[in-house]
Amino acid sequence: MADTQHTPPKTGITADGFLTDSWYLAAPSAELKAGAQQRIMMLGEPVVLGRTPAGEAFALRDICPHRLVPLSAGQQVETDGQWTLQCPYHGWRFGTDGGCKLMPSLTEDSPYDPSRVKVRRYPVHEANGAVYIYVAHDPRSAAPPAVPPPDFGPLPEKPKFVIHDLFNAQMDDAVV
């Protein structure tokens, strides 16, 4: 019998049996208010899903690489003309591309380059009243999504989204 606890997952499938290299519905567009963010769980990973004051939807791993604080507890601030998400602990600021834009503790003569620090960025697609996140198998991959985002066409005027529910099945088996 195989030791599934220590066997690495196959490419394209998480250890829990979820498909990677796929798009997942993250939230209805109306739930993302400009200048706000929220924590969601996507395939067992914490994700901060937000919308900049300029209206751009974004998704990043919800863990600051400095001290592991949830970035979703921070605030959005403008840094050098672009919107960034500021960690509530030490004030590190991350752009919607996942790159660190500012480390307040660095002095001007510091040789360290903050842009070397990155947090995982998830590609986001917004269409027809829904926000989708692409979950790549390799978290470090900067390649564009391998498959196009889903297109279900226009939704009814008052769509009903059931996002949080419990099923006694793998998600891929439960989708009908």
Q: 19-50: per-residue pLDDT in tens? A: 999 999 999 999 999 999 999 999 999 999 99
Identify the pLDDT of residue 17: 83
Burial of 172 (0-12, 13-18, 19+ CB in 10 A): exposed
Which of 64, 33, 62, 30 minimizes the C-alpha distance to 45?
62
DSSP states along 64-80? -TTT---GGGSEEEEET
Distance CA 86, CA 114 (A): 14
Domains (range + CATH), the chain: 28-143 (2.102.10.10)
User: pLDDT digit string (tens) for 116-152?
Assistant: 999 999 999 999 889 999 999 888 888 889 889 988 8
pLDDT reading at 3 higher than 80: no
| Per-residue pLDDT reduced to its tens digit, 51-94 | 999 999 999 999 999 988 999 999 999 999 999 999 999 999 99
